């Protein structure tokens, strides 16, 4: 997807996968700095530990305490988090979250990134529905204390009933990933036609959760858009150009066989 954008725009750049062990992370970042890298992505287990090797953080990365994209700015390596930004860019095609009420399933990395970006975008209320209380309460505290968002945690022991005044419902968990029949535990009858229902899962593109929501008349948003848009934002950070989104999505669809 990234290299498809480079090729389409005639950039003689490469996007190369590199495996780095935790003990060698500092050396890897110093190497990237010394070799003039314009930036790089980092995944687990480096999203938090990489911060100590950087020169600064973007706003959302500082709030959530996690980085997945590093960009060189004025000779400094700055950590950003594009996951939540990618989701919001995709969501904006259907609805503006400002002033809205959101139900978010999950409190892991993707859910945390999305919640923070929703908070920064002016979302009125975010309900975190999660099985683990510890991670969810930590996220609620971040939303309340750092972003002054009305937020609450709801334990998720079984099927969850979505409140009728909810505007946006998001599956921020991995339930359904590579499992087309996997069911998100919720009361499908509580999904109303006025709701936008989104899933971060990108394979399959049409998860059972999204199919259920569409059958209830909801507008739906698949996880492929989030994945493409976080890549788009990374390319913008590194190159300064606005890459062709269609080219990147087609390359990703081809890679995923969809």
Please, what are the domains in the chain? 2-81+227-256 (3.40.50.10860), 85-221 (3.40.50.720)
How confident is the prediction along the chain (258 residues), in pLDDT tens digits per residue?
999 999 999 999 999 999 999 999 999 999 999 999 999 999 989 999 999 999 999 999 999 999 999 999 999 999 999 999 999 999 999 999 999 999 999 999 999 999 999 999 999 999 999 999 999 999 999 999 999 999 999 999 899 999 999 999 999 999 999 999 999 999 999 999 999 999 999 999 999 999 999 999 999 999 999 999 999 999 999 999 999 999 999 999 999 888
d(CA 218, CA 215): 7
Q: Looking at the DSSP assignment, which residues form a beta bridge with residue 225?
A: none
> E-strand spans in the chain?
39-41, 56-57, 69-73, 76-80, 101-105, 125-130, 150-155, 168-171, 196-199, 219-221
3-state secondary structure of 128: strand
Q: Looking at the DSSP assignment, which residues form a beta bridge with residue 104?
A: 128, 170
Residue pair 53/76 in contact by the 8 Å Cβ criterion: no
Q: What is the pLDDT of residue 70?
A: 98
Active site residues: 47
Q: Looking at the DSSP assignment, which residues form a beta bridge with residue 197?
A: 169, 220
pTM over 0.75: yes
């Amino acid at each position: 997807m990234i290299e498809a954008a480079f090729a389409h725009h005639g950039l003689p750049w490469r996007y190369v996968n590199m495996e780095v062990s935790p003990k060698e992370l500092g050396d890897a970042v110093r190497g990237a700095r010394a070799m003039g890298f314009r930036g790089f992505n980092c995944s687990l287990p480096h999203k938090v530990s990489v911060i100590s090797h950087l020169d600064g953080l973007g706003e959302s990365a500082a709030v959530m305490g996690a980085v997945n994209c590093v960009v060189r700015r004025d000779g400094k390596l700055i950590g950003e988090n594009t996951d939540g930004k990618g989701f919001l860019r995709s969501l904006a095609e259907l609805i503006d979250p400002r002033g809205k009420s959101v139900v978010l399933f999950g409190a892991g990395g993707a859910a945390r990134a999305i919640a923070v970006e929703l908070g920064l975008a002016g979302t009125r209320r975010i309900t975190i529905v999660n099985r683990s209380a510890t991670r969810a309460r930590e996220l609620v505290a971040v939303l309340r204390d750092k972003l002054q968002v009305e937020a609450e945690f709801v334990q998720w022991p079984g099927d969850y009933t979505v409140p009728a005044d909810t505007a946006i419902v998001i599956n921020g968990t991995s339930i359904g990933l590579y499992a087309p029949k996997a069911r998100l535990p919720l009361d499908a009858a509580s999904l109303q036609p006025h709701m936008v229902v989104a899933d971060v899962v990108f394979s399959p593109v049409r998860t059972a959760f999204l199919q259920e929501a569409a059958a209830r008349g909801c507008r739906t948003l698949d996880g492929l858009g989030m994945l493409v848009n976080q890549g788009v934002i990374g390319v913008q950070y590194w190159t300064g150009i606005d890459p062709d989104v269609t080219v990147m999505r087609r390359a990703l669809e081809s890679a995923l066989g969809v």
